[in-house]
Chains A and B, each alone.
Chain A
Amino acid sequence: MNDFFYRSVSSKPLAFFRAVWGLFLIYYYLQIFWLLDIYYTEDGLRDVSLTFSEPPFLQWSFFYWVDHPTIFFYAIYVVGLISALGTLLGYYTRLCSVLTFFCFVSLVTPAQWGTNSADQLVKILSFLFMVTGIVGYTARHYSLDCKHRADSNSSGSIPAWAYRLFQVQLCSIYFFSATSKMGYPVWHNGQAMQIVLTQTDSWMRFDTGLTDYPAFTALLTTAALMFELVLFPLLVWFRRTRLWILGLGVAFHLSIFITMKVFIFTEVMILLYLCFLEEKEVEGCVERIKGVAAGVSAFCFRKENQKTA
C-alpha cells in the first residue's frame, strides 16, 4: 500500500492534466450556459426543482440560499469561467481550484433535468482537482505559478496518491457501470446494443444499418460489457497493456460520440484518461502541441507578410 499511495512520481502529467481540465471547463461552461440560463432566470427551473423535490441531505448549492438567483447566476458563471481560465494557465491555481469547485457545484447541483451522470463526473473531478490543487501538486509545471516560484526545479516529484484518486475513480466508473448492466436481461441476451442502435429517431445520429445483423450487435453488447468489467479496470494498471487499453478506450468513446447523441460524456472520459499518462508521454504531447502552435503561427506570419507585400 505504501508503494501504491506514496511512490514518488513525476508531477508533469498531473500539471498537464490540470491544464487540459481548465480548457475543458471553459468548453463546458460555454456549452451549458443556455441550460443554466433556464434554471436561474426569474421563475426558472430552480424554483420548480425546489418545489418538486427537497435537495438530498447536505447536498448544497449557493442557489439554494438566495431568493433572486438571476444576478448571482451571472456573477458565479463569470467567476467560474475566470477560475477555469486560471486553472488552464496555472495562475493562482490553489484559489482557482477552490473557486472552480464552489462555482461548479453551485451551478450544476440544482440542475436536475438536462444533466446526467457525465455532469456528476465533472463535479467529482472539480473536487479531486481542488484537493490536489490545494496541496500544490497540480501547478508545478506548465503554469504561471511555477514560473513565479524560484524553487520550481526542485519540486518535480509528488506522491502517487494524487494520481490514484483519479485513476481509481475512473476504473470504478467502468467496473460499476458494467456490474449494474449485468443485472438487466438485455445485456444477458445480447440485445442491448441492438435496441440502442434502433433508436434512430432519438439518440442515434444516423442509422448504422447494423440492426439487421443481430449476431454482430450481440457481439458488440458482450464486447462493451467486457471492456467495462474486465479489460479497462484490470489491464490499465500494467505497463505493457496500459497504452493499448487507453487507445482502445479512446476509440470506444469516439465511436459512441460519432454514432450517438451524447453530451460531455465522451469528452470527460477521454479527459480522465490523462491521469494514466506518464512523464515521457506528456512531454511528447506537449512537444507536438508546441510544434502545431509554431506551425500555425508561422503560417499566419507568412499570410500577414503576403498581405503587406
Chain B
Amino acid sequence: MVKEDSKAGLRLIFTRRNGFSLLLVLHFTVLLINNLPHTAFTYKVDGLYLWYLNLTGQYQNGWGMYNNPTRANDHFLVKVFDLRNQDKEYAYLQIENPRELYLVESVAYSSNPLQSHLARAYLMFKEKDLELSQYQRVELYRFSSSINLQSGNRPQPTQVWQLEEVKEGADE
C-alpha cells in the first residue's frame, strides 16, 4: 500500500528554484517601480524597496540625458595669467575633457555658497593640473548665449570665478 504524502504539494511549491524565481521577480518589479514617473503610488511604496536599491548601489534616478535639452549655449574657458604682468601675458584654454566640462557646468548652475566651493575646488585642481609657477593664476570664464531657434542666439552676461586667496610670496 502506498502512503499518501500530505506535504508533497507544499514541497513542490517551496523549492529553492521557486524561492529564487521570487527574488528575481521582486528585483525586476523594484526596477520597474523605481523607473516609473513619481506618482502618489510610487511615493507610497518607496519605503518598501528603496533600502534594497540604495544598499546595492542600484538606485536609478532617471535615465534622463537630454530629456529637456538646455537652451544655454555655454562656452567655458580657463584664463591663465601672470600676476607680475596681468594685462599682457595671458592665455585662454579650452576645456576639452567632457567630464571636466560637466563639473564646470555644475559650478555655473549651483547657487552660493556651494558655487564658491565647487569653483574653488576646480580652480585649485586646474592650477595643479597645469603645473603653474607661483606667479601664475587661473580664472574660469563662462561666455553664454541662450538658444532661440527662431530669432538666433541671445548673448548672456559673462561670469568669472577666481581663487580669492593669494599664495605666499606671490604678491611681490
Contacts and interface: CB of A to CB of B under 8 A. Distances in A.
Interface of A: 1, 5-6, 31-32, 34-35, 37-38, 44-45, 48, 51-52, 56-60, 101, 104-105, 109, 113-117, 120, 123-124, 126-127, 161, 164-165, 168-169, 172-174, 176-177, 179-181, 183-184, 186, 191-192, 194-196, 198-203, 214, 261-265
Contacts of B37: 179-180, 183
Q: How large is the interface on B (under 10, 10 to 19, 20 to 34, 35 or more residues)?
A: 35 or more
Contacts of A261: 98, 101
B65 interface: yes
Interface in B45-95: 50-51, 54-76
Interface stretch (B4-12, B118-126, B132-140, B163-171): B118-126
Nearest to A120: B60
Contacts of B26: none
19 contacts: A35-B103, A37-B125, A57-B51, A114-B99, A114-B106, A124-B58, A124-B60, A161-B20, A165-B27, A168-B28, A168-B31, A177-B64, A177-B67, A181-B64, A191-B149, A195-B147, A196-B66, A201-B75, A261-B101
A214 B70 CA distance: 18
A35 B99 contact: yes
B67 A181 contact: yes
A199 B147 contact: yes
Contacts of A262: 65, 98
B102 interface: yes
A25 B43 CA distance: 35
Given A161-B24, A199-B69, A194 B59 contact: no
Contacts of A214: 149
Contacts of B100: 34, 114
Contacts of A51: 117
Contacts of A184: 67-68
B7 to A, nearest CB: 23
Nearest to B107: A113
Given A113-B118, A124-B60, A183-B37, 10 more contacts: A34-B125, A113-B106, A127-B57, A169-B31, A174-B63, A184-B68, A192-B66, A192-B69, A202-B101, A262-B65
B121 A56 contact: no
A177 B71 CA distance: 20
Nearest to A102: B57
Interface string B18-41: 001100100110011001110000
Interface of B: 17, 20-21, 24, 27-28, 31-32, 35-37, 50-51, 54-76, 97-103, 105-106, 110, 114, 117-118, 121-122, 125, 129, 143, 145, 147, 149, 153
Contacts of B147: 195, 198-199
A117 B28 CA distance: 19
A200 B73 contact: yes
Contacts of A6: 17
A186 B64 CA distance: 14
A38 B69 contact: no
B60 A199 contact: no
A6 to B, nearest CB: 7
Nearest to B116: A48
Contacts of B69: 186, 192, 195-196, 199
B63 A180 contact: yes
B101 A176 contact: no
